[in-house]
Amino acid sequence: MLGTPTRDRVAERREATRREILDAAWEVAREKGIAALTLKDVADRVGMRPPSLYSHFASKNAIYDAMFGQAWQGCLDALQASVADGLPEEPRAALLAMGRAYFEYAVADQARNQLMNARISADFQPSPDAYAPSLAVWELGRTHFARLGLTAEADLDLYSAVVGGLVDAQLANDPGGDRYARQLDRALGMLADHFGF
């Protein structure tokens, strides 16, 4: 008598194929831009015909959805790692540490940042599952802001706009450089002054 299987090899192969498709989608997005991603380009990268992708993803938006979830999960992981040993006690230093961690993650990959923070398609709306890591990032920020005595949603909105604006300026005007990265300390210092730190 044969033993009970301990692995679902079909599911493992299916998951490996999904990962390969997503990796290919990221490659295309990085080369051509996130909005220029096509199923044909993705299928060509993985050696499939475009209709075969539909057995793994229902549509291009389903691929975007999985990529969106990956991007925000990566952001959450990066931010959690940056605060794993604790943020500085001094509020200004804590504000800068949080901002720098997000800034570095965001500017490291323009296509990923566009998917996370720009409306790439009029008909793409992330699913609740894909959106969950984004909400977790927001809650992580809210938790650390509360530790600094900042509990107003408007304060977190302003902070997010300042850091996000610098990310956008860096990616648009000096990708791979540091023109706007050099302004992060200054901008967050002004924000810290505004918050009374």
* Cα 147 from Cα 56, distance rounded (Å): 43
Q: What is the pLDDT of residue 71?
A: 97
Mean pLDDT of 11-16: 82
Q: Where in the chain are all domains bearing CATH 1.10.10.60?
A: 1-57
Q: What's the chain look like in SS3?
A: CCCCCCCCHHHHHHHHHHHHHHHHHHHHHHHHCHHHCCHHHHHHHHCCCHHHHCCCCCCHHHHHHHHHHHHHHHHHHHHHHHCCCCCCCCHHHHHHHHHHHHHHHHHCCHHHHHHHHCCCCCCCCCCHHHHHHHHHHHHHHHHHHHHCCCCCHHHHHHHHHHHHHHHHHHHHHCCCCCCCHHHHHHHHHHHHHHHCC
Looking at every residue in the chain, the average pLDDT score rounds to 92
pLDDT above 60 for 1 = no
Percent of the chain at pLDDT > 70 equals 97
CATH 1.10.357.10 domain extents, the chain: 65-195
Q: Choose which CATH entry (2.30.180.10, 3.20.190.10, 1.10.357.10, 3.65.10.10) describes domain 65-195.
A: 1.10.357.10
Tell me the fold of 1-57: Arc Repressor Mutant, subunit A (1.10.10)
- pLDDT tens, residue by residue, 34-76: 999 999 999 999 999 988 888 899 999 999 999 999 999 999 9
* pTM (predicted TM-score): 0.89
